[in-house]
Chain A
Amino acid sequence: DAKTTQPPSMDCAEGRAANLPCNHSTISGNEYVYWYRQIHSQGPQYIIHGLKNNETNEMASLIITEDRKSSTLILPHATLRDTAVYYCIVYNQGGKLIFGQGTELSVKP
């Protein structure tokens, strides 16, 4: 499985867009990019995933570069409830999601 690199922490003002970067330079052609978040003492929450194209759902947008070596998760209007650890994961079947250290996002009023 490809490894991912994320900044350990980020701050964002409430109501502004939060842009969380992820590098996955060794990603293979059939590996998907997944994003999860984990609020303290809760289970990870699935946010979004994609292969090549940009994706958007009710929670967030996922922008994947053309060479697929990096991606950005965008929370368009961050709220205090978005404060969490965000994990970028590269996955290709087999069942095992490999969670790295993630990015601790703090949304501040």
Chain B
Amino acid sequence: DGGITQSPKYLFRKEGQNVTLSCEQNLNHDAMYWYRQDPGQGLRLIYYSQIVNDFQKGDIAEGYSVSREKKESFPLTVTSAQKNPTAFYLCASSWSVTRSNQPQHFGDGTRLSIL
């Protein structure tokens, strides 16, 4: 079945450490996204990518980095510069960033906590 796979499901970060969250999709979608969700709050966009080797900052990109070397993969690195990284991270994909009638489909998320 086609879908979006995020791993790991749970991740713990030590102070000063960078960690990378994996997101893989087999839907053949061109666009991919990373969101952050804090308890009781809505989703906030971190980064998005329309095509391979191109990505754009969202509303809260500081302290995060991404790469898009393959169409199906869009890993997110939470760097030590992100001072409040504890959150639920969600990856999504869609056919296009610019077509508003194409839904985004989400993975099941990675929950990141600080040790």
Contacts and interface: CB of A to CB of B under 8 A. Distances in A.
Interface of A: 30-32, 34, 41-46, 49, 51, 87, 91-101
Contacts, number: 59
A95 B33 contact: yes
Interface of B: 4, 6, 31, 33, 35, 42-43, 45, 48, 56, 58-59, 88, 90, 92, 97-101, 103-109, 111
A99 B43 contact: yes
Contacts of B111: 41
28 contacts: A30-B100, A31-B100, A34-B103, A41-B88, A41-B109, A42-B109, A43-B4, A43-B92, A43-B107, A43-B109, A44-B90, A46-B105, A46-B106, A51-B101, A91-B100, A93-B97, A93-B98, A93-B99, A94-B97, A95-B31, A95-B56, A95-B58, A96-B45, A97-B43, A97-B104, A98-B42, A99-B42, A101-B42
A93 to B, nearest CB: 4
B103 A46 contact: yes
